[in-house]
A and B are shown apart, each in its own frame.
Chain A
């Protein structure tokens, strides 16, 4: 089991649906990340939150909307997704975005299928 919890584990949604992915950590980490991973590919960074503020947006389409309500929670709101958005969405955390030599702690991901 990981210390970063993601829900749901699996999600199937239509292109007109609105859904949210949730991520929670209680390690006191102040940096939280969203990654997208397609099958047999490495994770690709989407967003970074540092001290609850959006710090990095890697040119992600606006149909993905991140939110960090507090230091323990990270959400990813999904709307009007496309089938090519189907992927494993991974949340990660680290003590601080700027603390050097700190590895990422990953959750087990949400497997998203867009139909």
Chain B
């Protein structure tokens, strides 16, 4: 199976609610990144968390990383209809596998107005 696996596969919430999605991975990582993809478009980088960091914030986004559990979570607070998209985590395994970021299966988020 893939290095990154995400749950839930799909999430539907009302505008203003918080959305949490999770990513699990199997091997040691150098960093973990979260990307957003609007339908039929390219991926947009949201936030990168290094293996020695536990939490990172960017605007309405909060990412946590638990290397002991090999998992990360992305929290979007006060969601908006414009947050509707697919969200992917990607893991960077470090120098020997440099350039080989591996993407999780993704979570499809729908925010209803």
Interface residue B101 (Cβ < 8 Å from any Cβ of A): yes
Q: Is the CB of B42 within 8 A of A33?
A: no
B75 to chain A, nearest CB (A): 19
Q: Is the CB of B104 within 8 A of A42?
A: yes
Q: Is the CB of B95 within 8 A of A104?
A: no
Q: Is the CB of B31 within 8 A of A42?
A: no
Interface residue A103 (Cβ < 8 Å from any Cβ of B): yes
Chain B positions within 8 Å of A2 at CB level: 42, 44
Interface size class of A (residues with CB under 8 A): 20 to 34
Q: Is the CB of B105 within 8 A of A43?
A: no
B51 to chain A, nearest CB (A): 10
A73 to chain B, nearest CB (A): 17
Interface size class of B (residues with CB under 8 A): 20 to 34
| Total cross-chain contacts (CB, 8 A) | 71
B47 to chain A, nearest CB (A): 9
Task: Tell me the A residues contacting B by CB distance below 8 Å.
Answer: 2, 4, 6, 31, 33, 40-45, 48, 50, 55-56, 88, 90, 92, 94, 97-98, 100-101, 103-109, 111
Q: Is the CB of B48 within 8 A of A103?
A: yes
Interface residue B54 (Cβ < 8 Å from any Cβ of A): no
Q: A100-B95, A101-B31 are in contact. List 13 more A-B contacts (CB 8 A).
A: A4-B42, A41-B105, A42-B105, A45-B100, A56-B100, A90-B43, A98-B98, A104-B33, A104-B45, A105-B45, A106-B42, A108-B42, A109-B40
The chain A residue with its CB closest to the CB of B88 is A42
Contacting residues of chain B (1-60) with chain A, CB-CB under 8 angstroms: 2, 4, 30-31, 33, 35, 40-45, 48, 50
Q: Is the CB of B40 within 8 A of A88?
A: yes
A55 to chain B, nearest CB (A): 6
Alpha-carbon gap, A50 to B102, bound state (A): 18
Question: 17 A-B pairs, CB-CB below 8 angstroms?
Answer: A42-B103, A42-B104, A43-B43, A44-B103, A45-B100, A55-B99, A90-B43, A92-B43, A100-B30, A100-B92, A100-B94, A100-B95, A101-B92, A104-B43, A105-B45, A107-B42, A109-B40
Query: A97 contacts which of B40, B45, B98 (Cβ < 8 Å)?
Result: B98
